[in-house]
Amino acid sequence: MPKNFALPSALEPYKGFRDPRAHVKKFQSMIFFNGANNEPVLCRVFPTYLDGAALLWFSKLSAGLISSFEDLARSFIDYFAASRIYVHGSDYLGTIKQGQHESLKDYMTRFAEATMEIQDLDLAVHLHALKAGLRPGKFWETIAITKPKTLEEFRERAAGHMEIEELREAQKSDKQPHRRDEEKALRSPSNRDTKKLFKLTPKYNTYTIFNTKRENIIKEILNAKIVKPQARAGNYQDQRFVDRNKHCAFHQKFGHTTDDCIIAKDLLERLARQGLLDKYVKGRKARGTNSDKNEHKQAVTDKKEQTTPDLPKGIISHISGGYAGGGETNSARKRSYRAMLAIEGTL
């Protein structure tokens, strides 16, 4: 080996998964840069930059098969020619499109990396694919109007637009800390205490024990259209901290479960006390719809009769005989007085 010769450290070993021609060219350029430019040095140093399947290939070469580095490079490229399927052609550029939220700078960087793998890429094909992959927007309209004919013209147009994008991103980053501070302030416990939310209270002291979950009952009466679902769950829930894992079948919203819903609980209790949910109550038999309505009406009538005073069935305006004037005997007067008391007793 030449005196003061040092192996290149920037070259990665070839493992059999990249273009073998690119590896050979890069190897030669680094060796020449270090001052070694002869066949024996190239042949001896080349195996040190092989690894995996490539190193196994080299170890199986027959003795005396290689007489020059050109022979070694040709055998290496021919053996790993199948690895070039991982290298894209010019048609691959047509599949590269700018993402919906991808900046122009990121798009052009990604496009440039893809072009590095393509050998002998035509500049016209390069420019056409670059313009075709742009996302519709202001820059896309600018390119459609100006119609740059070379890559240099296209890059000049893109440079100004990329500066505008970077300026906008810088302004957004300056505003984000303020927004984050506001969100933290809203989520702080002290802020929750200052904003008092309306809390629903149960209407009944005791509630009926059902033989199934309230959620199942609510779903059944909603399907039967006995009641209509409520579109709003009220303002007793802070919508900023809604739990998406909880869902109410009655309100059809997230934030709380049907079994914990106070409004649904009161509704089912009212229907249960009216006798409409007997099949869900232990010890009661389900009754027909018509009989439920009749019995409910009868119960309401009986309740009114118990709370409303009885009206007089008759008014005694005159009692015949000599009760007032003394024309009858004492026994007759007593009989008339008893009759009056009997009538008044029916009040």
pLDDT at residue 175 tops 60:
yes
Determine how many CB atoms are found less than 10 A away from the CB of residue 253.
20
Give pLDDT tens digits for 75-91.
998 898 877 665 667 88
Q: How many residues does the chain have?
A: 347
Domains and CATH numbers, the chain: 20-86 (no CATH), 91-185 (1.10.1200), 214-282 (no CATH), 311-347 (no CATH)
Q: For the CA atoms of the chain, what is the radius of gyration?
A: 48
C-beta of residue 3 within 8 angstroms of C-beta of residue 36: no
Give pLDDT tens digits for 94-148.
899 999 889 999 999 999 888 877 767 889 999 999 999 999 998 999 999 999 9
| Interaxial angle between packed helices 262-273 and 214-223, expressed in degrees from 0 to 180 and rounded to the nearest 10 | 70
pLDDT at residue 319 tops 80:
no
Q: What is the pTM of this model?
A: 0.35
- Which token pair is 279? 């099949």
In b/e form, how buried is each residue of 19-31, taking b as 16+ CB within 10 angstroms?
Answer: bbbebbebbeebb
C-beta of residue 323 within 8 angstroms of C-beta of residue 333: yes
Residues in a beta bridge with 111: none
pLDDT at residue 237 tops 80:
no
Q: Using CA atoms in the order 299, 303, 308, 311, what is the torsion angle rounded to 10 degrees?
A: 40
Closest by CA to 72, choosing from 61, 81, 83, is 61
Reduce the DSSP state of residue 254 to 3 states and report it: strand
Determine how many CB atoms are found less than 10 A away from the CB of residue 89.
11
Per-residue DSSP letters for 117-144?
Answer: TSTT--HHHHHHHHHHTPPSSHHHHHHH
pLDDT of residue 221: 81
